[in-house]
Amino acid sequence: MSRGILTLNVGSSSVKYALYQEDSLKDFESAQCLTRGIIELHPSRITHDVQSVSISHKIDQVLLEHSDIMITAMVHRVVHGGQLYFDPIIIDDTNFNELKNFIPLAPMHMTPELAAIDELSTRFPRIPQIACFDTAFHGNRPELDKRFALPKDLFQSGILRYGFHGLSYDYINRISQHLLEEEKRQNVIVAHLGNGASMTAIKNGQCLATSMGFSALDGLMMGSRCGAIDPGVLLYLLQEKHYEIADLNQLLHKQSGLLGVSGISHDIRELEMSDAPDAKLAMDLFAYRCAKELGALMMVMGDLDSIIFTGGIGENSATMRSKIINQLTYLHLNINTQHNHHNELKISEDQSPIDVYVIPTNEELMMAHQAYELLTTTTSRQAYA
Tens digits of residue pLDDT in 128-181: 999 999 999 999 999 999 999 999 999 999 999 999 999 999 999 999 999 999
**pLDDT per position as a tens digit, 88-125:** 999 999 999 999 999 988 888 898 899 889 989 999 99
In this structure, the answer to whether residues 130 and 217 fall within a common structural domain is no
Find out whether 130 and 374 touch, Cβ atoms under 8 Å: yes
**pLDDT per position as a tens digit, 229-282:** 999 999 999 999 999 999 999 999 999 999 999 999 999 999 999 999 999 999
173 domain residue, yes or no: no
In this structure, the answer to whether residues 279 and 375 fall within a common structural domain is no
Q: Is 247 a catalytic residue?
A: no
In this structure, the answer to whether residues 206 and 155 fall within a common structural domain is no
In this structure, the answer to whether residues 374 and 352 fall within a common structural domain is no
In this structure, the answer to whether residues 231 and 311 fall within a common structural domain is yes
In this structure, the answer to whether residues 283 and 314 fall within a common structural domain is yes
In this structure, the answer to whether residues 153 and 100 fall within a common structural domain is yes
**pLDDT per position as a tens digit, 178-222:** 999 999 999 999 999 999 999 999 999 999 999 999 999 999 999
In this structure, the answer to whether residues 20 and 114 fall within a common structural domain is yes
Domain that holds residue 92: 2-162+364-383
In this structure, the answer to whether residues 373 and 321 fall within a common structural domain is no
Residues of the chain with pLDDT > 90: what percent?
A: 82
Write down the catalytic residue from 23, 68, 92, 134.
134
Confidence of residue 380 (pLDDT cuts 50, 70, 90): low
* Range scoring the smallest mean pLDDT among 59-68, 83-92, 248-257: 59-68
In this structure, the answer to whether residues 331 and 374 fall within a common structural domain is no
- Dihedral angle sign, alpha carbons of residues 368, 372, 373, 375: positive
Confidence of residue 56 (pLDDT cuts 50, 70, 90): confident
24 domain residue, yes or no: yes
Kindly report the three-state secondary structure assignment for every residue of 165-214: CHHHHHHHHHHHHHHCCHHHCCEEEEEEECCCEEEEEEECCEEEEECCCC
169 domain residue, yes or no: no
Cα distances (angstroms) measured from residue 110 to each of 96, 102, 116, 332:
11, 7, 10, 41
In this structure, the answer to whether residues 210 and 275 fall within a common structural domain is yes
Question: What pLDDT score was predicted for residue 28?
Answer: 84
